[in-house]
Amino acid sequence: MVDVGQATPATFRWSDDLGRNWHDGGPVDDQWHMLGGGTEVRFGELDWEAGYTVTFSARDQLVSRIEAIEGNVLALADSANRSAEDAVVRHCDDAALQAAIDDAIKQTRNLFIPPGHYRLARGVVARNASGLTIEGANAQAVVLDISEGNGVCVAMSGGTEVNLRNLTMVGHMGFAEADQAGSMRTLGGRGLWGFYLKKSGATSISGTERVVVENCHARRMSQEAFVSGGVSRIAPAPRRNTKSTTYLRCSAIDCGRNAFNDWNLGPENTSVLNCRIVDVGGCAWEGASRYVRFIGNYVRNSGTIAMGNLGTFNRDASFEDLGAGQHIIADNVFESGGMYGGKRGSRMIRSAHGSTQVIIRNNLFVNFNSPAIEASGNADTTHYPSAQTIISGNIIDLTCVGESPVARTGILVSANDTIVSDNQVYARGAVDPLVTGIQLQEPAVNLTVHDNLIRNCGRGLVTTRAQSRVGTVIDERTFMLPSWTSVPAGRPPGHDYRGWPLVWLADGEPADRSVLEGCDPETCHFVLREPRAMKAGEAFEVYSPVGTNWMMHHNTVTGCQTPVILDSYGSSACVFADNMISRGEATDVTEALTVKGRFDLLDNVFSGFDEPGSVALGIYPDRFGEPLQNLERGNTFTDCATPVGEQQ
């Protein structure tokens, strides 16, 4: 890789290990410059000061066919272009396998692969199969090895039905190379993914209508181990999209990038069932497709279950009628924590970027040293926010064992129309100050949080405000959102912020107020009711004046250092009712419930906050220093040193 930054005079750096180490190359001129491995480079005439990233590669392998053997002399079909005393000859089996697959498709027969280690210089393809089963003798004995080749071991393209069973597939970049397979920033371009330069994958699907991949195992794959794409159901005829894909009892272990991936709206009805995902440098699952089930799997030290990631696909003409990113994530076990690019701390389950109708239920998180579940309303100018989510019945153990703890949240919600119920979020042993149980974030609307048990967390149940910034000022009333924002443009035909207050911030504190005339979800333009002098980068918050519709009821929060914080704008439609808040074994609890926004507090129970100086219910002015117009009724205080403390 040769990387020329935007500068005058132009200089360059180079890397021969996919960006892991960069070396100073010197000036960009017409002289030869020595790089690694005996490679030299010089620059032709070009406006190099504009910045460029150039990659090139070569291989010292000759893939040919043996035509004759006489003694110890081999006669090859192709001539070698160099001599080497240490050259070796090894079998290469992709041509024979491809011929067998082609013949099986032609004769409408199945293909049995006997035990053996099959070396691939390139992958094989099943094209337009009307009904084909490729089956190895068993997954231990049949190995497809592309570790010295390039591509996907078995690709399926077009056709009606393909079944793939009992294979192990080996590539050339494992978990230790996650940084090289992943995203890298360059000086001369926008950056790139390392695996594009050195590819190995297990299977890929493009437009095959029905596919079953069973008992197939990927090792050391640089790109997505199991991936599907192709056209969507609304593509112009002739078209054929993947209508059903099942991965059953498969595994992805020690891989540089994603385990399973549907990369666009083409595939539908993808099921990842009873699979094992361990030490994967990218996402355990990444899906922009429709009607996905990720059920009964075991995941350890791997990246996010990423639902959505629709990009420009959520502008697809079928989006409003069919939605996208529908998922059921259920009955899985997640151990140790999420790791992305080899680094600890990634969210494990995340609904974002336009995913709708998502169910996250009955999952177990064991000794989990990472954020667990997020329903994200954040978006950018190409994505809609996610919505319609149920998070229920999960047991989330956020205990850090044998590692340096990271800040982590059990459940984080900033997406509209979300129900969080019947979950347990906790840390074993002493209170962990880096753990937050459940966090809700404005400007999300229609949130219901009930019957959850939160214990031994630094913060138990928390509400917060999202901030964004002005991107581009269009005129004195109109501005565009930045490329990424936690106050997203709404999804049509959803709310458009009409009549919502907008609060301008200076150093994080309110400095001015406006009222929104509305927001265009297509252009991401916010329009103020009255003109105002605005500037790019200016920070702001928005909130609903009446219709937030947050209901938090029948939750139990115990043993937390800071049990409950209601620090968001809230509204007259925000209720905190029938909750149990107890000190448990926590010590030095300053306040059990801190209220800094518009919430009605009804029939809650406070117990055990009897330490000197401790306050059960702390009431503060609102964001603008004004008294809150909250209703507090029917709350019970037992063994509390100071039941209520008012700051004004």
Cα(538)–Cα(503) distance, integer angstroms: 11
DSSP 314: G
Q: Are residues 33 and 132 in the same domain?
A: no
d(CA 53, CA 188): 5
- The whole-number pLDDT of residue 488 equals 79
Tens-place pLDDT, residues 84-139: 888 889 999 999 999 999 999 999 999 999 999 999 999 999 999 999 999 999 99
Confidence check: pLDDT of 495 > 70 = no
* Residue 120 exposure: Cα atoms within 13 Å on the Cβ side: 28
Instruction: Please report the DSSP string for 117-155 in residue order.
Output: EEE-SEEEEEES-SSEEEEES-TTTEEEE-TTSEEEEEE
Is the bond into 521 cis (omega within 30 degrees of 0)? no
Average pLDDT for the chain: 92
- The Cα 233–Cα 319 span in angstroms is 12
Longest dimension (CA), the chain: 99
Q: Mean pLDDT throughout 210-226?
A: 97
Mean pLDDT value across residues 237-251: 90
Question: What integer pLDDT is reported at residue 491 of this predicted model?
Answer: 63
Token pair for 329: 């994530």
Residues of the chain with pLDDT > 90, as a percent, come to: 78
CA angle 315, 498, 386 (to 5 degrees): 35
Residues 10 and 109 in one domain: no
639 in a domain, yes or no?
no
pLDDT at residue 58 tops 60: yes
pLDDT of residue 314: 59
Other C-beta atoms lying within 10 Å of the C-beta of residue 233: 15
- Measured between alpha carbons, how far is residue 164 from residues 150, 204, 268, 423, 625 in Å? 20, 11, 18, 38, 65
pLDDT tens by residue, 274-327: 999 999 999 999 998 999 999 999 999 999 999 987 665 555 667 777 888 999
The answer to whether residues 16 and 56 touch, using CB atoms and an 8 Å cutoff, is no
* Residue 417 confidence (pLDDT) above 70: yes
**Helices and strands per DSSP (H, E), number in the chain:** 3, 64
Decide which of 61 and 234 is more confident: 61
Domain of residue 10, residue span: 2-54
Model pLDDT for residues 524-561, shown as the tens digit of each residue? 889 999 999 999 999 999 998 888 899 999 999 999 99
β 525-528/122-127 pair status: unpaired
Which residues lie below 8 Å from residue 4, measured CB to CB, with a gap of 6+?
10, 11, 12, 28, 48, 51, 52, 53, 54, 187, 188
606 located within any domain: no
Structure tokens, 486: 């936690």
Distance of CA 80 to CAs 84, 87, 256, 303, 444, Å? 10, 11, 33, 43, 65
Domain assignment present for 304: yes
pLDDT band of residue 243 (cuts 50, 70, 90) is: very high
Torsion-angle region of 81 (φ positive above 0: left; ψ -120 to 50: alpha; else: beta):
alpha
Q: Which residue has the tokens 């997406």?
A: 415
Q: Are 242 and 114 within one domain? A: yes
* pLDDT band, very low/low/confident/very high, at 497 (cuts 50, 70, 90): confident
Residue 485 lies in a domain: yes
If asked whether residues 34 and 110 sit together in one domain, one would say no
Same domain, 201 and 286: yes
Tokens of 122: 């390139």
Strand partners, 524: none
3 state SS of 540: strand
Please count the other Cβ atoms lying within 10 Å of the Cβ belonging to residue 455.
22
Q: What is the mean pLDDT of residues 253-274?
A: 94
Q: Return the higher-pLDDT residue of 23 and 545.
A: 23
Q: Which of 398, 395, 347, 400 is nearest to 373 (CA)?
A: 347
Q: Is residue 619 part of a domain?
A: no
Identify whether 323 is part of a domain. Answer: yes
Grade residue 481 by pLDDT with cuts at 50, 70 and 90: confident
Final residue in a domain of this structure, among 332, 353, 387: 332
- Distance CA(599)–CA(14), nearest Å, equals 58
Mean pLDDT of 167-193: 91
Residue 455 lies in a domain: no
So what's the pLDDT on residue 379? 77
In a domain, 449, yes or no: no
Say how far apart CA 368 and CA 394 lie, in whole Å. 13
Is 172 found in the same domain as 228?
yes
**Residues 272 and 168 reside in one and the same domain:** yes
**What pLDDT score does 493 carry?**
47
CA atoms of 130 and 94, how far apart (whole Å) = 22
Shared domain for 22 and 106, answered yes or no, is: no
Q: Are 46 and 104 members of one domain?
A: no
- 36 and 117 assigned to the same domain: no
H or E element that contains 525: strand 525-528
> Which of 223-237, 291-305, 412-426, 502-516 is predicted with the least confidence, judged by mean pLDDT?
223-237
Q: Classify residue 15 by its DSSP letter.
A: -
Q: What is the pLDDT of residues 323-339, one digit of tens each?
A: 889 999 999 999 999 98
**Same domain, residue pair 141 and 36:** no
Domain end, chosen from 489, 515, 542, is at: 542
**What domain count does the chain have?**
3
Size of the chain, expressed as the number of residues it contains: 648
Beta strands 270-273 and 292-295, pairing class: parallel
Q: Within 10 A of 546 (CB to CB), how many other CB atoms are there? A: 11
Statement to judge: residues 157 and 270 lie in one domain: yes
Q: What is the CATH number of the domain that holds 234?
A: 2.160.20.10
Is pLDDT larger for residue 544 or for residue 483?
544
* Domain end marker among 517, 542, 567: 542
